Structure 1
Amino acid sequence: MGQTLTGLLKAVRARTGQGGTPRPEPTAALRLCGDYLADLAAGGALGDAGRTGLVSAIGGLTTASGTGGDGLFDALLRTGQRALEAGGEAETRLALDIAVEATALRSRSKGAWRLRGNALDALGRRDEAVQAYERHLALQQNPASAEDVRRRIAALKDLRACLEEAAELLPGEDGTALRALHNAPAGQARTVFAEIVRRHTAEGGGMADPAVRRLTARYAAYRRLLDRDRMADPLLGGAEPVGVSGLRRTVAGRSVCLVAGAARIADEERDPDGPLGKLIDGYDLVVRCDALPAAAPRTDVHAVTLRGDTPWTGPAWGHRAGTRLVFGDPLAHWRRSLRARLAAGAQDRVGDASLRRPLDDPALLGEDGWGTRTTTAFTVLRLLYFLDAADRLDLIGFGLPGQLLPREREWVAARATHEDETEMRTALR
């Protein structure tokens, strides 16, 4: 990777007129990326996937810089987003610098203003982040797409209100220190606020003191907002959590089919005169996995697997489903993804933490060796097979290439009781 990084650094410097033939006046973004790569190269090998993705994006930006137009601007925003996702302080500052240039180049780009708001937010510069978010909202024409930004603005204003209310309880230096935390990095804000609460709890007679209780309540509210963003509807439109027993009751005595996500299956199912749609519609429960097109037919159970370093940044799960099962680890990422991506009213039941990693959970299946690459389809299939409650369990379309991994296909073949190539159906029970 070291040689690749060095070569990319030379390419960036060539684009900006450093160390070679003079070039036209460079963009500030390329100079900033060159400086970042130089510092990164001096630090040795890359240590995480986030930085690797950023270096790849910088390579794309370098290539696009010779083309201009929308392609170059898109590459600029993509590089800023990868810098933000990398998560380090240097990378976040690079994201902000890129966003500042992007908003200067196109002052009416809603994507550039959102990137700028996100970077300022991540750096703890919350008042400036609100201003950038509000510029984004002024340009955003799609109300649904703007809802999460409105929610974030409200959360930032609530954070300030928590600090103001706590500061009013503590006149003097501590009150001033609390107000200053609104535009401080999250780690510093946590530490300083916690220390002030500890000191006043010890000096003020503990929780028996009403003022201390109010201060502690403000601290608790502040930490919740700082660590977990607001949800548009915490009750998700009345959706209920469902565990292992609840899922077993849902499928007990019913016919269940798991439908492959192949394009051929979707096309044949939508054919009003085709037999496949009628076959699938005859089951009591239809199970589908991962990304669902807006026009997808009935989905009674929707299963998804969290992928990548920041799975909570994916699109919302807005397609209607009776039950939604989300598989993922670690627990903190799973919880954050549910808060960010579940859509109120889009499901009646949501799988709880007992169902988030059924294959390797020792309290459930506890089977070793499947690994993180296991397909969502096999995970939900193995779970349903383990529950042993469905009257009938069939696979539709999984004989097509690419639907299951080789070891998963072997597992299915060893347990299949019937196969019908005409119907593309494999029966397991």
Structure 2
Amino acid sequence: MTKPLAGLFKVRQKEAAEPALYARGMRLCGEHLAAQGAGSAPPRARLTQAIGAFAASLDSPSADPFDALLQVGERALEAGGERELRLALGVAETSAMIRRRSKGAWRLRGLALDGLGRGHEALECYERYTTLLNGGTPAPEVARRTDTLRRRRECLDAALALFPEAGAPLRDLLGQPDTTTAVVAPRLAAYVRAMVAEHGPGDPAARRLLELYGGYRRLVERPGMPDPTLGGSTPIGVGGLRGLVAGRTVCLVANAGDVAGSALGTEIDRYDLVVRCDAFRIRAGGTGERTGLHAVSLRGDAPWEGPAWTQRAGVRLVFGDPAAGWRRATRQRLVPGAQEHVGDASLRRPLSDPALLGEDGWGPAPTTAFTVLRLLDFLDASPRLDLIGFTLPGRLRPREAEWVMDRATHVDDSKMRIALR
């Protein structure tokens, strides 16, 4: 009888602990809201909504407060400020205490620590998350950050090993909890300057130190790419894209509920090239199953922090400006093996690029659907170019819709189709 009673006692202890831990999570949320200013940007508004949903879940038998608590952490990460990152970390720590084998809690904890610059602790959390997957594939952003942090640590360890006595204080600093990249980087720079000055730039160890320091700085400024070839994806420019669409029938499918709920899936899949935009969802009966070309536009001040583009596609075109943000986003969000071809920089802003269309008047952020449609129309290589799901007002901006209807050769409302060829 001893073992069954002991097990029952542990279960009851766990059940008694959970309300206190959820209360801790609610207190963290309350403290965050109390310190929040009157203004609320969209990401912070979503965070506030998530906190409200978590509060409601605590008194709802049908809701799972654990998932609601994790959602608060995700929205805090999305908001991205230091206060929000500290909230995400507190939520992650609480979640890991409630369910110690929760993959979501350890992933969230790693991302929060990483955002706060506590790379060594973040790496430990990423490794724990990967272990809990039991051989599964980690999320792309976790795989990318794990690779980056490991390579950064390897650069640091190798640099400090070149001059062990001089590097001892910095090594001690790395072993302290809460040490951040913002603290380590200037100390490392001072160490490098001192060693080069003492031994001279011609010394082999000093040259190696400079090489390692350069690698470390690059990895701090931008994440490494575990697979720089993206699983064999081929970059293509304007000519390459035209060659891929030449002679093929093309349809552009709207991300709309009436398309998903239709019976057009089989007909859509009959086109040679099916084009989808942004965050699309597949419902085979209505939307079809194939994606020959996926176009996405970068939005917001930090578009590189968005979710990875994991949907399978033959061609992926990423539209965005300025060039630096576009480069960073493509490095961080493209997934190896998720596409066969990737549009290069010559295709990143086709409407406004004077080397391509060079058209004004579409506004600072034209819809992705119109951008890719106008590009395909400009290439003039497809015998059939149709839009499906764009017959209703509001799917395109007024001037975009006017352009489409001025060039439409046929409109079939029963099949939500507009033909441009």
TM-score by length of structure 1 reads 0.79
Structure 1 residues 132 and 385, CA gap change in structure 2 (3 angstroms): same
Q: Which amino acid aligns with 1:166?
A: A
After superposition, give the CA deviation of every residue in 1:344-396 in whole Å (9 maximum; x if it has no partner). Answer: 23322101122223233444334444345532211101122233444443323
Which residue in the other structure is 1:289 paired with? 277
Cα distance between partner residues in 1 of 2:310 and 2:48: 33
CA contact (8 A) 2:117 2:182 kept: no
Which residue in the other structure is 1:11 paired with? none
After superposition, give the CA deviation of every residue in 1:280-336 in whole Å (9 maximum; x if it has no partner). Answer: 62x443322232428543332221223456544555434432211112344444334
Matches within 5 A, 1:241-390: 241-265=235-259, 267-271=262-266, 276-277=267-268, 281=270, 283-290=271-278, 291-293=280-282, 296-308=288-300, 311-312=303-304, 314-371=306-363, 374-390=366-382
- SS of residue in 2 equivalent to 1:27: helix
Matches within 5 A, 1:14-93: 27-41=23-37, 45-46=38-39, 48-67=41-60, 70-93=63-86
Which residue in the other structure is 2:105 paired with? 112
Cα distance between partner residues in 2 of 1:244 and 1:210: 46
Which residue in the other structure is 1:139 paired with? 132
Structure 1 residues 422 and 46, CA gap change in structure 2 (3 angstroms): closer
After superposition, give the CA deviation of every residue in 1:40-89 in whole Å (9 maximum; x if it has no partner). Answer: 34xxx437444343333333333333337753222221222222233232
Cα distance between partner residues in 2 of 1:50 and 1:198: 42
Cα distance between partner residues in 2 of 1:189 and 1:270: 55
Structure 1 residues 356 and 292, CA gap change in structure 2 (3 angstroms): farther
Deviating runs (4+, > 6 A) in structure 1? Answer: none
Q: Which amino acid aligns with 1:348?
A: E
Cα distance between partner residues in 2 of 1:28 and 1:210: 54
Which residue in the other structure is 1:188 paired with? 183
CA contact (8 A) 1:81 1:115 kept: yes
CA contact (8 A) 2:230 2:337 kept: yes
Which residue in the other structure is 1:122 paired with? 115
CA contact (8 A) 1:166 1:175 kept: no
2:404 matches 1:412? yes
Cα distance between partner residues in 2 of 1:140 and 1:326: 31
Cα distance between partner residues in 1 of 2:66 and 2:361: 44
**How far did 1:270 drift?**
3.2
**How far did 1:99 drift?**
1.5
- SS of residue in 2 equivalent to 1:192: helix
- Unpaired segments of 5 or more residues in structure 1? 1-23
Structure 1 residues 192 and 246, CA gap change in structure 2 (3 angstroms): farther
**How far did 1:164 drift?**
0.8
Cα distance between partner residues in 2 of 1:330 and 1:28: 42
Structure 1 residues 145 and 315, CA gap change in structure 2 (3 angstroms): farther
Structure 1 residues 338 and 142, CA gap change in structure 2 (3 angstroms): farther
Structure 1 residues 153 and 145, CA gap change in structure 2 (3 angstroms): closer
Structure 1 residues 127 and 316, CA gap change in structure 2 (3 angstroms): closer
What is the aligned length? 395
Structure 1 residues 329 and 126, CA gap change in structure 2 (3 angstroms): same
Cα distance between partner residues in 2 of 1:121 and 1:77: 17
2:389 matches 1:394? no
- SS of residue in 2 equivalent to 1:256: strand
- SS of residue in 2 equivalent to 1:393: strand
**How far did 1:158 drift?**
2.4
After superposition, give the CA deviation of every residue in 1:140-191 in whole Å (9 maximum; x if it has no partner). Answer: 3571345653553343232221101001223334453266357632333333
Q: Which amino acid aligns with 1:53?
A: R
Cα distance between partner residues in 1 of 2:94 and 2:367: 41
CA contact (8 A) 1:163 1:179 kept: no
- What's the C-alpha RMSD, in Å, of the aligned pairs? 3.3
**How far did 1:198 drift?**
4.2
- SS of residue in 2 equivalent to 1:172: helix
**How far did 1:225 drift?**
2.7
Structure 1 residues 68 and 218, CA gap change in structure 2 (3 angstroms): farther
Identical counterparts, % of pairs: 54
Which residue in the other structure is 2:17 paired with? none
Cα distance between partner residues in 2 of 1:25 and 1:146: 27
Which residue in the other structure is 2:165 paired with? 172
User: Which of 205, 208, 219 is matched with 1:211 structurally?
Assistant: 205
Cα distance between partner residues in 1 of 2:65 and 2:364: 35
CA contact (8 A) 1:85 1:310 kept: no
Cα distance between partner residues in 1 of 2:63 and 2:57: 10
Cα distance between partner residues in 2 of 1:94 and 1:111: 16
TM-score by length of structure 2 reads 0.80
